[in-house]
Amino acid sequence: MLYIGIDLGTSAVKLLLMDEKGQILRELSREYPLEFPRPGWSQQNPEDWKAAVWEGIPALLEGFDSSQVAGIGAGGQMHGLVVLDDQDQVIRPAILWNDGRTAKEVDYLNETVGRDKLSARTANIAFAGFTAPKLLWMRENEPELFARIRKIMLPKDYINYVLTGIHCTDYSDASGMLLLDVEHKRWSAEMLALCHIAEDQLPRLYESYEPVGTLLPEAASQLGLPESVVVCAGAGDNAAAAVGTGTVGDGACNISLGTSGTLFISSGTFGVDPHNALHAFAHADGHYHLMGCMLSAASCNKWWMDGILGTGDYAGEQKAITDDRLGNNHVFFLPYLMGERSPINDTNARGALVGMTMDTSRADLTQAVLEGVAFAIRDSFEVAKSLGIPITRSMICGGGAKSPLWKKIMANVLNIPLDTPVSEQGPGMGGAMLAMVACGAYPSVEDVCKKLVRVASTTQPDPEIAARYEARYRRFQAVYPALKPIFPKLNLS
């Protein structure tokens, strides 16, 4: 049988077709626009997601027997606020995970309601990208639209809805809404009351690998699929990517260098970082995970290459960055182009290049961008270490992991081996694997990971380079605290 994996990303949807032995038969992507109506704001039209999926799936299936498709699973960008009216029509553009408009609401939740109360109710504190602050913002700034809300869901849940007609979400994605009691896997009555919403406005909760329904007749007809195709609940993009890299069970780690960057640590038991620098979420395997999330990772390199240097030759720009330069760069980059979440939780933070001199070269600046992202990942890595979590190696995935240089920098900044999986398809592969479990092809998420995930290569740290980066990281740690008081004073409007 065949399975379709959907990776509903920020700039495009990526689709893949996979058989139950894990072979990727075809993959393609369809882009859609991203709106920045004001500095720090980020939103998209959910109808654009649907159009991309509706166009992409028939193209994905060309030349294959579509009657052999058994299931569909999606991994999607987290936290985005999708709101529907009583006719199930989209009310306004989705406010995305990297949107920073909710600084006032975040301060209210963390400072007035209180971090301790939030953590007790949801296992997390408020971050600008989370869904609950967006609901409060919408109630304050768009009261007429807020009054029309009948259903609240997340981006990949909207795709599942148009496929099945079911209002659903999964525990991993719902964990990032600040509305879920993560430990007990139920909606928090206190948080719903605080946000002035009712439980029937929220979707039904499922485990990621559970089937939520089959295709609606009109969806099956337009996509060229049997109505019997099973759609599983799916997962947030990071949990789905973790499944795709086999990061399940207790103590496994995955680093993702996508548009955002994450340090993902799976756990067999529920646990909370007492400082809330790391998120405590449910995992797609039915258990839990801790996660550090930075808002701009591979997107920093894209911004630098496409927007500043004006070139698409990423590999060419990295050729001059040889091993002798690693750990010796005099320029530092703060990768906070959209503000930052883990571990600093500062919506006012912005990107910065520091330490430039007359002899600073183009390669120095390119190297600084790559290193800045690696140093920011290490910030979350250090929090995990402070909690007594031993991370001795990690998987690595995402678009940035396609760069051998960036993997080398990351391995040496963290001073651990990094394993690259054979099939590096991120959330799409994880979504297809979850669909296999939903269809009964495998008995559990851990079982499908053991059978299908293989390591293609390992990037080992070099002792000399790692030592140089240790010294550089200690200097990097001084940059943000020095600039932090300045950021709120900048005219960013």
Query: Tens-digit pLDDT profile for the chain (493 aa)?
Result: 999 999 999 989 999 999 999 999 999 999 999 999 998 899 999 999 999 999 999 999 999 999 999 999 999 999 999 999 999 999 999 999 989 899 999 999 999 999 999 999 999 999 988 999 999 999 999 999 999 999 999 999 999 999 999 999 999 999 999 999 999 999 999 999 999 999 999 999 999 999 999 999 999 999 999 999 999 999 999 999 999 999 998 989 999 998 889 999 999 999 898 888 999 999 999 999 999 999 999 999 999 999 999 999 999 999 999 999 999 999 999 999 989 989 998 989 999 999 999 999 999 999 999 999 999 999 999 999 998 898 999 999 988 999 999 999 999 999 999 999 998 777 999 999 999 999 999 999 999 999 999 999 999 999 999 999 999 999 999 999 999 999 998 865 5
- Residue where one domain finishes, among candidates 227, 242, 257: 242
Q: 441 lies in a domain? A: no
What is the separation of C-alpha 199 from the centre of its chain, rounded to a whole number of angstroms? 25
Note whether 383 and 321 are same-domain residues. yes
- Exactly one of 237, 285, 364, 419 is catalytic; which is it? 237
Helix count and strand count (H, E) for the chain = 18, 24
220 & 289 share domain? no
Q: Does 446 fall in a domain?
A: no
C-alpha 353/C-alpha 369 separation (Å) is 9
CATH value at residue 369: 3.30.420.40
Phi, psi torsion values for 137, nearest 5 degrees: -65, -45
**Closest by Cα among 223, 256, 211 to 238:** 256
Tokens of 295: 């808002």
pLDDT of residue 101: 93
Q: Can you give the pLDDT at residue 492?
A: 54
In a domain, 367, yes or no: yes
Domain shared by 204 and 297, yes or no: no
Compute the distance between CA of residue 412 and CA of residue 418 in angstroms, rounded to an integer. 10
457 with 350, same domain: the answer is: yes
DSSP string, 184-223: TTEE-HHHHHHTT--GGGSPEEE-TTSEEEE--HHHHHHH
Residue 410 resides in a domain: yes
B/e letters for 6-35, b = 16+ CB within 10 Å, e = fewer, are: bbbbbebbbbbbbebebebeebbebebebe
Retrieve residue 437's tokens: 């479990």
Tokens at residue 9, please?
A: 């990303």
Same domain as 265, residue 201: no
Rounded CA-CA distance 434/347 in Å is: 34
DSSP state of 2: E
pLDDT at 493: 53
- Hey, how many other C-beta atoms are within 10 angstroms of the C-beta on 458? 13
Q: Longest Cα pair distance anywhere in the chain, in angstroms?
A: 65
Looking at the structure, do residues 299 and 150 belong to the same domain, yes or no? Answer: no
Residue that is last in its domain, among 242, 271, 288: 242
Distance between CA atoms of residues 77 and 44, nearest Å = 12
85 tagged catalytic = no
Asked if 285 and 268 touch (Cβ cutoff 8 Å), the reply is no
Domain assignment of residue 447, yes or no? no
> Cis peptide leading into 343, omega within 30 of 0?
yes
483: its two tokens: 């600039």
Q: CA 155 to CA 143: how far, in whole Å?
A: 22
Q: What is the CA radius of gyration of the chain?
A: 21
Domain check: are 229 and 186 in the same one?
yes
Query: Exposure pattern of 290-324 as b/e (b: 16+ CB <10 Å)?
Result: bbbbbbbbbbbbbbbbeeeeeeeebeebbeebeee
Residue type, 443: P
Is 351 a member of any domain? Answer: yes
Q: What does 30-64 look like in DSSP terms, one character per residue? A: EE---B-SSTT--EE-HHHHHHHHHHHHHHHHTTS
Q: Do the beta carbons of residue 70 and residue 120 sit within 8 Å?
A: no
**297 in the same domain as 412:** yes
436 within domain boundaries = no
Residue 410 domain boundaries:
246-425+452-489
Q: Could you tell me if 100 and 230 lie in one domain? A: yes
Both 272 and 401 in one domain: the answer is yes
Question: Where is the domain boundary, 199, 215, 242?
Answer: 242
C-alpha–C-alpha distance, residues 327 and 465, integer Å: 6
Is 107 among the domain residues? Answer: yes
Shared domain check, 180 and 81: yes
Plot region of 272 (φ>0 → left; ψ -120 to 50 → alpha; else → beta): beta
**Residues facing 169 on adjacent strands:** 205
Number of domains in the chain: 2
The verdict on 94 and 216 lying in the same domain is: yes
pLDDT of res. 491 = 62
Among 181, 177, 174, which Cα is nearest to 206's? Answer: 174
H or E segment and range at residue 257: strand 253-257
